[in-house]
């Protein structure tokens, strides 16, 4: 069967644009063939900085024929009393290109209508491709497009050539004056000559001859193999870094790994600084021996290294950057870290929330309050670390290398004579900074991290900066997830509602919203994160809703309840149990007494229910408090028979006000057993 091949040749495309564009190109063509009634194989996409390629095998040569049915006017309108077609029917038939005698009828929501069946013959695939591909190129998605020169249609970079074949023959379309053909170009430096081809296989052969490794997977593997071999030559290794590997893969067409080295004296600088300089700024792979950096790096060149020009050039650039870094490092260390704190008064954190110094004072207050609850022995360390946590933001080093905030603070704290515990807490207080990142390794660091993230969340929400849709400029969702992760991993007995209240208290008169509004939005934010995490772990939505309707202290707390409820839901008796508990919830209303008077019970069923309740209550409460939610629910199940008997034999809404109130109090107390675990009204029961 025929295949489709398209290559778009351009100026160098930014590395981060290539993978999304290739995926978009393949998907748009697949959608086009599906809507156009053309069977086709799965798109295969490839690309380099200078070319975007899509190949689709097994494409039908023609569209499939189709018969489409069109509904017309009602039969009563289409024909007169004698059964003759009216102007409405004649006009409908003419509009659809069919004979009036070929019209049929069918039932519709509007009653019986006339209809016309129109057969559409499929067109040759090559014809519809020639008509579509110019628009397809214009619609390829990139983060940013521009108009180049006098061209009217924006594209990511100027297009220099288009190669397009269908069934081995050139397609006939153009994009802004660049016509499709069967000619491509080789590597810009190693073999820049043009070359022709007549199939996808011959294209791949010619690319190889012309020093173009067009398949990103092949380039990636080549880079991995080369850097591994070169690192071994200096008795080191390169740590796995998928992000850096993907970036350099899309920076070259013919990867050649080159070893470079730098002066050992630079190893006295913080290793994080060296790594950031090499990886982020230069796209180099650092070389390690265990956890120790070696004075080497590996760069990926887009051409073969002849002599020592390429390594020398890269070494020269790296040396200049490291010299700047050493200067900043030495200048910053002429002052104690605490001396930087006052400088934060001149830095605005957010116009409504004040300066970074004001934020810092709120963090100190929160850190002390939180530490008193969960680790009073680390309170002084946490408060000292909190006070110094943002000082490095006004250092020369962090101004030049923002990625090192917190990390440099830790180094400067050590140099200033602070304790190792304080320095470690400062260094780690931004953690976890992304999905999969570790939490701080010390309790003091964890407390400062929670305080910092909590202040950002409550502060931003307090002044009306509430995340909506994809808009979350202050990363409040990520901060919420970080707090949940820390509370879970440290098993801190901190109630989220209490945390929100403390954050609101420290915010003070900065808040524009009321305390109730802040609390509501913060609770919704955390619940949204809980819901996403629980759904990601496979819990059913009604179970999640039932759990989140209760008081949630941490993700570990929420997950424990969801797990216990999910297991209970698998039992055969669960539907009857949930129905009974829903009935208890529904009947409780109004101002109900909190105490039960056993002397007022008159029916044996209510006496039996009270005895059962009193018997299981201490166990259920203790198990709930200890986090044994499965045990608590299992114990609550024991009351089901008495609940059923109560509703079968006892009338709650009686005329006797005291009797009614006492029975309501009993049901309210029973609801109080399971309400901390789940809201059974949220459970969806399958109908038989």
Q: What is the mean pLDDT of residues 426-438?
A: 92
Query: Per-residue pLDDT for 388 more than 90?
Result: yes
| Residues 135/175, Cβ–Cβ less than 8 Å | no
Least reliable range by pLDDT among 245-249, 367-371, 529-533: 529-533
Provide mean pLDDT across the span 215-238: 96
Q: Output the pLDDT for position 679.
A: 85
Q: How many CB atoms lie within 10 A of CB 585?
A: 17
Q: Is 640 exposed, middle or buried (0-12, 13-18, 19+ CB in 10 A)?
A: middle
Burial 41-78 (b: 16+ CB within 10 A, else e): eebbbbbbbbbbbbbbeebbeebeeeeeeeebbbeeeb
- pLDDT, mean of residues 457-477: 90
- Is the pLDDT score of 239 beyond 80? yes
5: its two tokens: 């091949």
Give me the pLDDT at residue 404, please: 95
Condensed to tens digits (0 to 9), the pLDDT of residues 522-579 reads 999 998 888 888 888 888 898 898 888 888 777 777 888 888 888 888 888 888 888 8
Whether pLDDT at 688 is above 50? no
Average pLDDT over residues 140-157: 93
Average pLDDT over residues 580-601: 80
| 10 pLDDT higher than 90 | yes
Q: Does pLDDT of 357 surpass 80?
A: yes
Tell me the average pLDDT across 657-685: 85
* Look-up of token digits 């067109």: 123
CA distance 426 to 440: 10
Angle (CA) 640 646 648, round 5°? 105
CB atoms under 10 Å from CB of 202, counted, come to 15
What is the distance between the alpha carbons of residues 47 and 249, in angstroms, rounded to a whole number? 10
Write phi, then psi, for 118 (nearest 5 degrees). Answer: -115, 125
Question: Quick one: CA torsion of 644, 650, 655, 658, rounded to 10 degrees?
Answer: -80
Backbone phi and psi for residue 145, each to the nearest 5 degrees, phi listed first = -125, 160
Q: What's the pLDDT tens digit per position in 415-429? A: 999 999 999 999 999
**pLDDT for the residue 596:** 87
SS (H, E, C) 596-620: CCHHHCCCHHHHHHHHHHHHHHHHH
Determine the pLDDT at residue 686.
67
Q: Are 629 and 560 in contact (CB under 8 A)?
A: yes
Handedness of CA 563, 564, 568, 569 (dihedral sign): negative
pLDDT digits (tens, 9 = 90+) for 153-210: 999 999 999 999 999 999 999 999 999 999 999 999 999 999 999 999 999 999 999 9
Q: Residue 115 phi/psi, 5° resolution?
A: -145, 160
Q: What's the pLDDT score for residue 577?
A: 80
Q: Please count the CA atoms within 13 angstroms of the CA of 187 that sit on its side-chain side.
A: 20
Nearest Cα to Cα of residue 193 among 182, 204, 207, 174:
207
Q: What percent of the chain stands above pLDDT 70? A: 99
HEC sequence for 229-266? HHHHHCCCECCCCHHHHHHHHCCCCCCEEEEEECCHHH
254, 395, 642, 643 from 611: Cα distances, Å? 81, 68, 10, 12
Higher per-residue confidence, 455 vs 662: 455
d(CA 190, CA 207): 12
Alpha carbons 392 and 402: distance in angstroms, whole number: 10
Residue 385 confidence class, pLDDT cut points 50, 70, 90: very high
Beta bridge mates, 256: 301
The DSSP letter of residue 49 is T
For residue 584, pLDDT beyond 90 = no
Q: What is the pLDDT of residue 640?
A: 86
- Chain-centroid distance of CA 356 in Å reads 28
Tokens 């807490």 belong to: 425
φ, ψ at 643 (rounded to 5°) = -65, -45
CA distances from 128 to 4, 29, 65, 139 (A): 13, 12, 14, 17
Cβ–Cβ < 8 Å for 374, 494: yes
Q: What is the pTM of this model?
A: 0.76
Residues 251-305 have pLDDT tens digits of 999 999 999 999 999 999 999 999 999 999 899 999 999 999 999 999 999 988 7
The C-alpha angle with vertex 219 and arms to 217 and 222, in degrees rounded to 5, equals: 110
Q: How confident is the model at residue 66 (pLDDT cuts 50, 70, 90)?
A: confident
Task: Give the Å distances, CA to CA, from 29 to 39, 124, 299, 622.
Answer: 12, 16, 36, 61
Q: How far apart, in Å, do the first and last CA atoms of the chain sit?
A: 51
3-state SS, residue 490? helix
159-166 and 169-170 as β-strands: parallel, antiparallel, unpaired? antiparallel
Predicted pLDDT of residue 308: 78
Pair type for strands 285-289 and 292-301: antiparallel
Nearest to 644 by CA among 605, 688, 592, 602: 605
DSSP 8-state class, residue 97:
T
Residue 364 carries which DSSP code?
H
Say how far apart CA 286 and CA 446 lie, in whole Å. Answer: 30
Q: Are 551 and 676 in contact (CB under 8 A)?
A: yes
Could you tell me the domains of the chain? Answer: 4-62+124-209 (no CATH), 66-120 (no CATH), 216-332 (no CATH), 337-536 (1.10.3210), 562-682 (1.10.730.10)
Strand, coil or helix: 476 = helix
> Which residues make beta-bridge pairs with 120?
66
Pairing relationship of beta strands 178-181 and 159-166 according to DSSP bridges: parallel
């Amino acid at each position: 069967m025929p295949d489709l091949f398209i290559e778009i040749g351009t100026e160098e495309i930014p590395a981060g644009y290539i993978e999304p564009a290739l995926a978009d190109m393949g998907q748009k063509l697949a959608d086009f063939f599906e809507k156009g009634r053309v069977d086709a194989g799965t798109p295969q996409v490839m690309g380099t900085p200078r070319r975007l390629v899509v190949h689709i095998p097994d494409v039908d040569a023609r569209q499939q024929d189709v018969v489409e049915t069109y509904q017309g006017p009602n039969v009563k309108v289409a024909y007169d009393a004698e059964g003759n077609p009216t102007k409405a029917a004649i006009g409908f038939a003419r509009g659809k290109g069919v004979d009036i005698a070929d019209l049929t009828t069918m039932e519709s929501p509007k009653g019986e209508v006339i209809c016309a069946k129109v057969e559409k013959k499929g067109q040759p695939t090559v014809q519809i491709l020639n008509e579509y591909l110019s628009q397809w190129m214009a619609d390829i998605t990139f983060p940013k497009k521009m108009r180049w020169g006098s061209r009217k249609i924006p594209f990511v970079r100027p297009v220099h050539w288009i190669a397009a074949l269908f069934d081995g023959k050139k397609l006939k379309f153009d994009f802004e004056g660049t016509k499709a053909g069967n000619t491509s170009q080789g590597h810009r430096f190693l073999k820049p000559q043009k070359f022709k081809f007549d199939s996808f296989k011959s294209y791949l052969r010619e690319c190889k001859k012309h020093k173009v490794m067009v398949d990103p997977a092949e380039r990636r593997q080549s880079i991995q193999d080369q850097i591994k071999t070169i690192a071994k030559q200096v008795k080191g290794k390169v740590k796995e870094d998928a992000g850096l590997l993907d970036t350099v893969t899309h920076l070259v067409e013919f990867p050649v790994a080159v070893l470079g080295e730098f002066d050992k004296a630079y190893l006295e600088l913080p290793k994080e600084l060296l790594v950031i300089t090499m990886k982020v700024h230069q796209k180099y792979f650092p070389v390690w021996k265990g956890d120790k950096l070696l004075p080497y790096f590996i760069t990926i060149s887009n051409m073969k290294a002849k002599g020592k020009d390429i390594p020398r050039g890269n070494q020269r650039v790296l040396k200049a950057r490291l010299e700047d870094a050493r200067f900043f490092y030495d200048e910053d260390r002429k002052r104690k870290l605490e001396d930087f704190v006052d400088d934060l008064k001149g830095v605005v954190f957010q116009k409504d929330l004040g300066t970074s110094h004001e934020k810092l004072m709120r963090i100190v207050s929160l850190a002390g309050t939180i530490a008193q609850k969960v680790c009073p022995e680390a309170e002084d360390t946490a408060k000292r670390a909190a006070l110094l946590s943002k000082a490095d933001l006004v250092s020369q080093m962090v101004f030049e290398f923002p990625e090192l905030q917190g990390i440099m603070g830790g180094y400067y704290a050590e140099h200033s004579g602070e304790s190792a515990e304080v320095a470690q807490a400062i260094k780690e207080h931004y953690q976890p900074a992304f999905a999969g990142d570790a939490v701080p390794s010390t309790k003091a660091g964890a407390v400062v991290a929670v305080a910092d993230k909590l202040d950002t969340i409550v502060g931003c929400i307090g002044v009306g900066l509430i995340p909506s849709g994809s808009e979350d400029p202050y990363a409040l969702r990520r901060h919420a997830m970080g707090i949940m992760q820390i509370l879970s991993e440290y098993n801190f007995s901190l109630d989220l509602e209490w945390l929100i209240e403390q954050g609101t208290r420290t915010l003070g008169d900065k808040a524009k919203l009321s305390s109730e509004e802040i609390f509501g939005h913060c609770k919704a934010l955390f619940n949204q994160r809980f819901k996403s995490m629980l759904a990601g772990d496979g819990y059913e939505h009604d179970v999640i809703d039932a759990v989140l309707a209760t008081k949630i202290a941490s993700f570990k707390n929420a997950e424990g309840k969801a797990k216990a409820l999910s297991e209970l839901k698998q039992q055969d008796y669960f539907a009857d149990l949930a129905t009974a508990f829903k009935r208890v919830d529904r009947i409780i209303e109004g101002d109900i007494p909190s105490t039960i008077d056993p002397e007022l019970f008159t029916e044996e069923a209510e006496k039996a229910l009270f005895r059962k309740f009193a018997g299981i209550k201490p166990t259920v409460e203790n198990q709930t408090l200890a986090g044994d939610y499965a045990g608590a629910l299992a114990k609550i199940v024991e009351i089901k028979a008495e609940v059923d008997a109560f509703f079968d034999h006892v009338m709650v809404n009686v005329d006797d006000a005291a009797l009614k109130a006492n029975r309501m109090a009993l049901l309210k107390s029973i609801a109080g057993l399971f309400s901390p675990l789940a809201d059974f009204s949220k459970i969806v029961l399958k109908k038989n």
